[in-house]
Structure 1
Amino acid sequence: MKCGKYSLLLQFGKGLGLALVMAVAQPALAAGGGAAKGAPEGINYIPISPPLVVNYGGPGKARYIKAELSVRSENATDANLVTHHLPLIRDRLVSILSAQSDAIVSSAEGKEYLRRYALAEINKALLQVQGLPITETAVAGTGASPQPASAPTSTASTATTSTPPSTAAAPAATPAAPEASTASQLPEVIAIKGPASDLYFNNFVVQK
């Protein structure tokens, strides 16, 4: 009979010990202790999901762009920033795509210009919302016109402009890409160094 009591006490002690271990471990599990957090180190490709479906071209016959896009970041910190601000990025992309003309979205040159311009505007929006300075690092584009899509305050290839303080609720509205009647009239694009190192048009379908 004594053996039976000792056996029951031993089992009760084991059960109590397991319950205590689980109680201690529960907060760590809830906080993600030991699990990988956020984006992995190194290059990350962040999809803009779901794909964008945008009406473009102004009034008249309904025309649509369906775009499957991805943003590339070079490290985990930038990737987490891009992921956190995906709603802002989607808003900027919708504004840009909806302002386009058939001349831009129907040619390879126009799409490449649009990709570079959208990348610059994404970085500008991300830097503004973080209260960081905007640095124009390079000039790249397909057009012959020397004027950039968003006119800089200096003609130098590298310039830094002030941005709103970090306490601002949201960045200033980003102007849509200027329209052009032909791809050869597309303005140059000033590249903005920021969390997004590249933008990919994984699929770009125009429905006229």
Structure 2
Amino acid sequence: MRLLLKYLLLLIAPFLSLSTLASGGGGPAFAEGVNYIDVKPPLIVNYGGEAKMRYIKAEISIRTEDMHGATEITHHLPLIRDKLISILSQQTEESVATAEGKEKLRLFALAEINKALHAIDKAPEAEDKKKDKKEKDKKDKKKSDKDKKSKDKKSKSKDDDEEKSDEQDKHKDEHAGPASDLFFNNFVVQK
């Protein structure tokens, strides 16, 4: 009987180890679509110069649009933390006192994270995509200019909407990268 059990165990053992290998690694599993990566632990930094000890405590999440971006951000999280600490520590009391200042800080941090990630990866694909998008935008603009000339004058509100759309596209280009957005889940300032 013991011999039979040993024999069965020898037959089953290779299959058990293969299923363990096939189950994947120890890293986090990301969804195909949008992912949110928490920057943990929360960042606590001094800011505002030497006049008085002040600090910022920020709990931050970064949004990505795909699994590849989530993997890249998770891999480079130490670099991202370093960038965020540097950015937060350079702030002034005035820049973190208002909602507008915090929004500018958020957008600046997002752009700097993407810039740092592109610098590491040398992102030739991203540059090619930007060039292709710019060329396409130029062609689309020329086409729309021709269409505008051939049609009657459009209302001012439509032109304003197009200008806003162009500004939003420009804003998206500035922040293009693996990190599609950055959120302050909690932002505490001690003055």
**Aligned 1:103-114 pairs, distance under 5 A:** 103-114=94-105
1:34 counterpart residue number: 23
Q: Considering fraction of residues, name the structure with more strand.
A: 1
> How big is the shift at 1:192?
2.6
1:119 counterpart residue number: 110
> How big is the shift at 1:59?
1.2
> How big is the shift at 1:94?
0.4
- Cα distance in 1 for partners of 2:24, 2:82 equals 32
* Cα RMSD for the two superposed structures: 2.7
- Cα distance in 2 for partners of 1:52, 1:34 equals 34
| TM-score, normalising length: structure 2 | 0.70
Say whether the 8 Å CA contact 1:116–1:191 is kept in structure 2: no
Secondary structure of residue in 1 paired with 2:5: helix
Summarize deviations over 1:23-73 as a string: whole Å, max 9, x none. 4432551x3x13486322111000000000000011121100000000000
2:184 counterpart residue number: 201
Partner AA of 2:109 in structure 1? A
Percent identity reads 50
Contiguous gaps of at least 5 residues in structure 1: 1-7, 138-157, 160-188
- Cα distance in 1 for partners of 2:7, 2:31 equals 38
- Cα distance in 2 for partners of 1:100, 1:93 equals 11
- Cα distance in 2 for partners of 1:111, 1:18 equals 62
- Cα distance in 2 for partners of 1:20, 1:43 equals 43
1:66 counterpart residue number: 57
Aligned length: 150
- Which structure has more relative contact order (CA 8 Å, sep 6+)? It is 2
- Cα distance in 1 for partners of 2:59, 2:7 equals 54
- Cα distance in 2 for partners of 1:28, 1:129 equals 35
Secondary structure of residue in 2 paired with 1:69: strand
1:50 counterpart residue number: 41
1:83 counterpart residue number: 74
**Aligned 1:88-167 pairs, distance under 5 A:** 88-133=79-124
- Cα distance in 1 for partners of 2:44, 2:73 equals 20
2:144 counterpart residue number: none
Summarize deviations over 1:173-200 as a string: whole Å, max 9, x none. xxxxxxxxxxxxxxxx772310000000
Partner AA of 2:181 in structure 1? D
Secondary structure of residue in 1 paired with 2:53: coil
2:156 counterpart residue number: none
| TM-score, normalising length: structure 1 | 0.64
Contiguous gaps of at least 5 residues in structure 2: 136-170
Secondary structure of residue in 2 paired with 1:105: coil
- Cα distance in 2 for partners of 1:19, 1:204 equals 58
Q: Considering fraction of residues, name the structure with more helix.
A: 2
